[in-house]
Structure 1
Amino acid sequence: MYDKKQKEVAASLLKDMEAISASMRELIVAMPPHDLLGYIYAQHMMKALADQSAAEEQRAEDGPNDLINENQFLLEYVHAVLASDADPVNVTFDEARCTELYELGRKLREKAMFFAMVTSANTKDGVFGPDTADIEFRVKSTWVMLRGNRYQVLEGEFYRYVLMPHDDVLKEVYGVGAADIAEGFQAMADATRTGHSEAVREIMAQFEAAQAFAAAESKPLENVMEAWMATNAEQSKTVGRAIDDMFRGGVANVSRHTRLPPTLLADLAYQRGEETEFFAVGDFSGTPYRTLPARKKPLIQLGSDYYAVDPCFTRDAGYRALLYNLLQRKPDYRKTFEDRQKQMSEAAFSDILAAQLPGAKVFQEVYYKDPTSKQWSENDTLILIDDVLFLVEAKAGAAATIASPALDFGRHAQSVQDLVLKAYKQCERFFNYLNSEDEVPLYYRTGGRYEECARVCRSVYRVMVPIGLTVESFSPFSTYCKELPQVEPLLGQHAFVSLSIDELFVLKRFLPTPGEFIHYMEVRQAVAGMRRAHLFDEFDHLGAYLKKNRFDQDIADELKDDKVNMLIWDGMSDIIDRSFEGEDWESGPFPTQDFPEEVLKLLGALDGNRASGWLLAESSIRNLGGEGRNDLAKMLSDLRQTLNLHPARYFTLSGDSESLFIWLQRHGRLIDWTKVNDKASAAALSLKVSNVIGIVAEVSGDGIYHRAQSFSVHIPKERTEENAHIYEGAARVANRARSVNLGLQEKVMPVVGDKKIGRNEPCPCGGGKKYKRCHGR
């Protein structure tokens, strides 16, 4: 009974959608396209200006800007109609019709959302297991509502990177290379983003010039306008173009605002009436559940110029259309094209994030003999940095099908199969290989022969992150893939993460240091392993990290509630989104987590030294919450200021899962590593904890942290004659220690002795290196 009723409701909604879209088509085709575009863009601009003047608190209270979403939705329909209908002879602009068009657009979006709910609600099971119904709804609603969560100011950077492998062929086919095309796409985005404000400035500047001209002539402005225009012909044309930008959709005119050649623009554009599928007879005719023409070609030709009517599909649709037409014009380039795409995508992670991976060992196209199949297997990119391992499996093709999920949800699911699961299975095979022996060899293939290039020991790596990397964003599937029954944490503990190249450009800006980035990836991986917990895309994850730090722990706490079937965090990306707003977005600092200055100095010293174990030390510090960070800062500051009286000071900061032992050494004094190790072991015993991270920092009394490094703290299991002094030290610490919030403080006695160590002797820190290559540097 319910299924029958559901089908009846869905059929009614579909009929309504088709009728509304037909009415919208009639209204759009009857109006001059330039005037209609000018009206919609003006509405968009006025709302954006109103938002800029609103208080931040009010913006947060009001939530997403619905009028801007309506404008965007409407622009897509304008593009669809212009692409589908030839230019009529008699058209007139009517503001009343525009008002009606907005109302119809609102109704169509509303009906489409109800349709997504009704048609998804009764899905019992599927590719995403018991959560398929909810995910199907999210995918369908995203198809209707979201127009690419992209940051327009980064268009050029993205295009420059992904097109550079084809630079020579682009020049041959279009007469311009990757850099010029990227500049054009950025100019295209900038025109719609800031074009109105620039037009206003231009008009005001020329108006002031005309007023000055009138004042010099001692005549009223209206009496000298003709003379001024005759004298300033070029400025008059500039004003005309600015007026066109403001009132006739000129901000979307890419022929004017970019230097891209007409041949290239033509490959990205529809001519009037060229599109035949969107309004064709059949189910979903003209509705948002057909594939909007803007998803295929982002531009439309109006007269002799080309217009980017819908600015938000420019990234994905433009990229796909450009590469498709490049191969159409040069079909013999396909094999080389595929090879170059593969090389670009495989190198992207370590290339774009080079500053976050200093000194990393990067292996591309590594081979190994699978112990199960006995066949040679390949992985794309292996990155080893300190005690962290990244395995990146790159997919160079388009991220997802452009077919509607309402027409074929299974085809979307197949995209997951092709992209996510293939990468996941390749990572799984490699991780199983790592787990097959204490140490495994890796090979390069050269001239048909396999030559060993490295040996990897799994036990060395504290963090191992398997990553599936696409060129374009794969949201929302990239964050939902963990719900696939086949996707389990590898080796039972290493969750799979799906990322895209365009997301890497954002991550590198907000997480500029290795410690920040790798700690984020640790937290991100923890969330990737949590079923029933969803954030829409990578920028929601990033925003949650910047706001809450260990947001995986917050999610875990909420999931403990038996009443919670699925947890969705929405809107966490707002601080990321706002960072790319405004014309001066590059000049302001990006949001970051709060750390006291003293703690930042210690983190900086660890990063500056980058001795073995430094990422573990950074991670332990970054795991601290606000109170723990303040406690650490106070202890560092208080004890550091006494180093003029004592050669060394130390303290412990204890937490639930791990504790810190920090030794501050006066800069210029030799470190007594035997004492450091004994004191750290005694402190660990006194705290009765199983995991202690040791950090030694060489500091001046004036607050300069010259050097810092992590060291392993040995915690003895039982008392012997050799370690009796450590147990005695632990007892003394326990007897006289006083609690300091999250940690314990023990007053440090001065270092005994300044015995010199030979430069070629083993370093007493226990790191296994010669003193001259370790602490003797």
Structure 2
Amino acid sequence: MGKHNKRSRKTKRAFPDEAFSNGPFQIARFGKQVVLTSNWTKEEHAQVLAELSARYATVVQEIDDLVRRIVSVVGVLPPDQLLTRAWQEQVMSSWHMQVEADVTQDDSIALRMIDYVQSVIAATPRGEAQKSELSDEDWKDLRIDITALFRKLNCEYLICATAYRKATGTVYDDAMEEFFVRAQMYWCNVRGDYYQVHQVDAIADFLRSQSKLIEAAYGISSDYLVAELNKIWRSLTFGLHEAMTSMFNSYTEVMTEVQRMIEQNEADLGSQSVDEFILAVAERLGHGDTLVRSAGAFGNMDLFDLRKVTNLPVAFLDDFSWAPGQDTDFFANGDFSGWPLRIQPIFRRPFLKLNDTYYCFELYSLFDNFYRQLEKRIFQQSEAEKQEWIQNRKEISENLPVDYFSRLLPGATVLREIYYPVVSESGSTKNLAEADCVIIYDDHLFIIEVKAGAFTYTSPANDLPAYVKSLEALVGAPSKQGQRFLKYLESADEVDIFDAKRQPVGKLRKGDFRCKTICAVTLDPFTELAAQAQHLHKIGVDVGEVPVWSLSLSDLRVYSDIFAGPLDFLHFVEQRMRAAPSDKLQLDDELDHLGLYLEHNNYTMHADDLSNTGARLCFNGYRSAIDAYFSAKLTGADKLALPTQKVPPRLRELIDFLAKQNQFHRSRIASYLLDLAGDWRSDLSKWIDEELAAIPKRGHCLPLSTVGNVRLTVFVNIEGVVELCHEKAAEHAQAAMIATGESDRVLLELAYGPNGPARASMSTVSLQGLSREHLEQLRKAATDLKEKRLARSVANFGKVGRNELCPCGSGKKFKRCCIPNP
């Protein structure tokens, strides 16, 4: 690990695992990174844009024709058979999927065959000539048309629309145009705001304090409503598997008994058929109802029938169900009539009413939109109930972040609703401003600003300004509020904080906090946009100059499940905030940051290294370990392994030890260790093992000093065996610092007892304030240290080449450093 026994090696050029080119485009894959480049000339680019613009009207007509064909087909096919088959095929397509990266284009279409088809049914009056059966040919033709619709919409339409806007002078600037295209793609294709294992719990958290209002509207409590929603979730998630398992177990037991009775001549087959005999045995064994229910799940629509699955009141089911043709907005005149770019009926009402029976076929649309749709129903009751809901919602949204942070940082200090003076340009501090919450853990300060308002419900295709306005309200405004508090905190060495009555409730010292993080937390999970918060200034959303962490309650829920300890979480936060301003890391999801961190640690540096070519970077598949974990958790896997970084045993032991201590700056020590790259971590862990074994025999400790980018000296002590005082350890670190020509050096002192780590301290040593005599002693020690390093290198590797780096650690070539005079 740089104990001056390794010669430096030249960096090797990285070659792609795969490379592909098509005309002016080149794509290269380096592991999970995909690098896109283009060598178009300006003239070639302009010609292509002109061709695409000319095709725009044709593409729009082709999409309209596809929609009309889909409507004409859906209008005559039996809705129940259509959606049952769609659900069955979607289940079959999802069996291979554990992670998002596994999702193919066909898998996405399988889900569209439920949500888009149900939306078309809800908005399409039934045709006069109805088909009683759904044929394979009907299904195949419909699937081909819907596949063509989404492929054309997701690719050709978006490209041609941008080219058309450029040609007609109505294009947004490049940054806004890219945002516009992304927002439309997310709208059409992204479903699932929560991991499935979190869907019901998330709704339960939001509705817990709204029980009085829900009961007034529907006659059921919030707990009752959540329990019924859980039944729907369970039926569509596990119902088929449970029915198969139940039927198999019952059938096995029944047939075993039938065989026994036949072998022992107890079967009366003269007066009844074989089927009647088997059914009688099933009834006698108590499996009759089980077989009937299982048959209903397979052959009928019992899994989707909300009156069989739940006991929800009819008034509730009516409010959240469409009858065929009942919705009049989706196909209303205007732009994008019937296109997935409009608000789809299933977003507003997740259930379908067929012949006075209510069905649910799709969970994502239910749980993604249910809270806000229920909210709208309550708002329609009365103004008083609307304001009560809003007040309850405010309390929920302010309490839940604290709950999650408290799980992540047990024992943290939480300061809610604190007030502070607003520093004006003239320097006066007459007015008080409010900060929603401040959380303190060791030397980290989190400034939490929460927004419970809804992200716009309109489609970006119809109202992009509404999207930008929502981002300003839910990201921009809290970001500026957090920065206002940070400005106050840094206005003096120590500042007062107050309650709403202007009474002082405490003091904060800016020097106590090594890291200060502003968090803009939202109730609505728009992670595809929030993950790019620091880049929103490009589209006119002012988030201030200080990096801000914008995340949703669903993201916090994931983090509170993932991180094994508080110090690991704090280190991730440090890396996350380093990534915030990076132009190389414009990711599509907050959890992509976590996935990159788990894989590459300092993932900002990793992105910088990859971007030397100037190509556009895409990071795919990094959240797969997280997806796999929650997939395993959903299915109740026996052994759940948290997705974590690779931390060798001795470092893991140290970090877990520090997490249990109350010493100040413990997170600084843990972060320093976790900042180390993988080989440094492994070498340090191995060295600690070796030193702990050698010290009792040797009778004294030998330090480890690194060279290069990591300037570290480590001493290991064993309580009651060898304990070196801090002054001696610091002097050695200072000598090592002089030997390598450094301005400062980190000193890590570890003490171990019989049960593992007993003490850990870290300090930064320098030469400031030392006397001339002391400096002279240290320089002599540094000379001795350099001679020892040179001798060790020669002994291990032989003669040092003139142009090699000097083994003393100075960073100079040997010929310009320690080479002996001729």
* Same topology, TM > 0.5: yes
Between the aligned partners of 1:477 and 1:410, the Cα distance in structure 2 is: 14
Between the aligned partners of 2:197 and 2:557, the Cα distance in structure 1 is: 11
Which residue is 1:29 aligned to? Answer: 75
Cα contact 1:29–1:85 (8 A) shared by 2: yes
Which residue is 1:706 aligned to? Answer: 757
The 1:271/1:31 distance shift into structure 2, 3 A limit, reads: same
- Residue 749 of structure 2 corresponds to residue 696 of structure 1: yes
Q: Which moved more, 1:528-537 or 1:300-309?
A: 300-309
Give the alignment of 1:451-600 within 5 angstroms: 451-485=503-537, 494-561=546-613, 563-564=614-615, 566-582=616-632, 583-585=635-637, 587-600=639-652
Shift of 1:333: 2.8
Which residue is 1:251 aligned to? Answer: 303
- Residue 158 of structure 2 corresponds to residue 106 of structure 1: no
- Residue 713 of structure 2 corresponds to residue 661 of structure 1: yes
What SS does structure 1 have at the residue aligned with 2:701? Answer: strand
Shift of 1:335: 2.8
Which residue is 1:378 aligned to? Answer: 434
Between the aligned partners of 2:357 and 2:630, the Cα distance in structure 1 is: 29
Residues paired across the two proteins, number: 729
1:157-201 alpha-carbon deviations (Å, 9 max, x no partner) = 212222223244445544544444334434433332332222221
What SS does structure 1 have at the residue aligned with 2:694? Answer: coil
Cα contact 2:305–2:360 (8 A) shared by 1: yes
Shift of 1:133: 2.3
Which residue is 1:75 aligned to? Answer: 114
Shift of 1:354: 1.5
The 1:395/1:488 distance shift into structure 2, 3 A limit, reads: closer
Cα contact 2:347–2:369 (8 A) shared by 1: yes
What SS does structure 1 have at the residue aligned with 2:696? Answer: coil
Cα contact 2:452–2:524 (8 A) shared by 1: no
The alignment yields a C-alpha RMSD, in angstroms, of 3.3
Which residue is 1:720 aligned to? Answer: 771
Between the aligned partners of 1:396 and 1:76, the Cα distance in structure 2 is: 27
Which residue is 2:473 aligned to? Answer: 418
1:124-157 alpha-carbon deviations (Å, 9 max, x no partner) = 7999964222222221122222223531111122
Which residue is 1:388 aligned to? Answer: 444
> Which of 163, 166, 171 is the matching residue for 2:207?
163
Between the aligned partners of 2:496 and 2:773, the Cα distance in structure 1 is: 39
Between the aligned partners of 1:745 and 1:236, the Cα distance in structure 2 is: 84
The 1:462/1:325 distance shift into structure 2, 3 A limit, reads: same
Larger RCO, structure (CA 8 Å, separation 6 or more): 2
The 1:121/1:377 distance shift into structure 2, 3 A limit, reads: farther
Which residue is 1:140 aligned to? Answer: 184
Cα contact 1:152–1:186 (8 A) shared by 2: no
Cα contact 2:324–2:353 (8 A) shared by 1: yes
Cα contact 1:153–1:189 (8 A) shared by 2: no
Cα contact 1:546–1:591 (8 A) shared by 2: yes
Q: Which moved more, 1:217-226 or 1:244-253?
A: 217-226
Between the aligned partners of 1:380 and 1:408, the Cα distance in structure 2 is: 31
Alignment-mate amino acid for residue 195 of structure 1: G
Between the aligned partners of 1:171 and 1:671, the Cα distance in structure 2 is: 69
Cα contact 1:38–1:248 (8 A) shared by 2: no
- Residue 69 of structure 2 corresponds to residue 13 of structure 1: no
What SS does structure 2 have at the residue aligned with 1:581? Answer: helix
Which residue is 2:194 aligned to? Answer: 150
Between the aligned partners of 2:459 and 2:543, the Cα distance in structure 1 is: 31
1:705-737 alpha-carbon deviations (Å, 9 max, x no partner) = 233333322311365147445555444444434
- Residue 171 of structure 2 corresponds to residue 115 of structure 1: no
Shift of 1:46: 2.6
Alignment-mate amino acid for residue 437 of structure 2: T
1:498-540 alpha-carbon deviations (Å, 9 max, x no partner) = 1000111111222121111111111111121112532110121
1:213-253 alpha-carbon deviations (Å, 9 max, x no partner) = 42133169994322443564574443343334335554333
> Which of 726, 741, 754 is the matching residue for 1:673?
726
Shift of 1:292: 0.8
Cα contact 2:585–2:604 (8 A) shared by 1: no
Q: Which moved more, 1:567-576 or 1:215-224?
A: 215-224
1:323-349 alpha-carbon deviations (Å, 9 max, x no partner) = 222343464233332222222222322
Shift of 1:408: 1.9
What SS does structure 1 have at the residue aligned with 2:503? Answer: strand
Q: Which moved more, 1:337-346 or 1:730-739?
A: 730-739
Which residue is 2:232 aligned to? Answer: 188
The 1:248/1:422 distance shift into structure 2, 3 A limit, reads: farther
Between the aligned partners of 1:518 and 1:264, the Cα distance in structure 2 is: 44
Between the aligned partners of 1:272 and 1:539, the Cα distance in structure 2 is: 38
Please, what TM-score do these two structures have when normalized by structure 1? 0.86
Shift of 1:96: 1.0
Give the alignment of 1:288-367 within 5 angstroms: 288-329=340-381, 331-367=383-419
The 1:526/1:248 distance shift into structure 2, 3 A limit, reads: farther
What SS does structure 2 have at the residue aligned with 1:252? Answer: coil
The 1:645/1:331 distance shift into structure 2, 3 A limit, reads: farther
Between the aligned partners of 1:652 and 1:489, the Cα distance in structure 2 is: 44
Which residue is 1:751 aligned to? Answer: none
What SS does structure 1 have at the residue aligned with 2:627? Answer: helix
Cα contact 1:652–1:745 (8 A) shared by 2: no
Shift of 1:628: 0.7
The 1:283/1:236 distance shift into structure 2, 3 A limit, reads: farther
What SS does structure 2 have at the residue aligned with 1:389? Answer: strand
Consecutive unaligned residues of structure 2, counting only runs of 5 or more, are 1-45, 798-804, 810-822
What SS does structure 1 have at the residue aligned with 2:417? Answer: strand
Between the aligned partners of 1:423 and 1:126, the Cα distance in structure 2 is: 31
- Residue 338 of structure 2 corresponds to residue 286 of structure 1: yes
Q: Which moved more, 1:268-277 or 1:605-614?
A: 268-277
Which residue is 1:434 aligned to? Answer: 489
Cα contact 1:388–1:461 (8 A) shared by 2: yes
Cα contact 2:193–2:368 (8 A) shared by 1: no
Alignment-mate amino acid for residue 606 of structure 1: L
Between the aligned partners of 2:62 and 2:733, the Cα distance in structure 1 is: 73
Alignment-mate amino acid for residue 323 of structure 2: Q
Which residue is 1:46 aligned to? Answer: 92
Between the aligned partners of 1:82 and 1:168, the Cα distance in structure 2 is: 34
Shift of 1:618: 0.8
Q: Percent identity?
A: 23
Please, what TM-score do these two structures have when normalized by structure 2? 0.81
The 1:324/1:489 distance shift into structure 2, 3 A limit, reads: closer
Give the alignment of 1:197-236 within 5 angstroms: 197-218=241-262, 223-230=273-280, 232=282, 235-236=287-288
Shift of 1:362: 1.5
> Which of 112, 128, 131 is the matching residue for 1:91?
131
Cα contact 1:632–1:653 (8 A) shared by 2: no
Between the aligned partners of 1:610 and 1:415, the Cα distance in structure 2 is: 41
Consecutive unaligned residues of structure 1, counting only runs of 5 or more, are 747-777
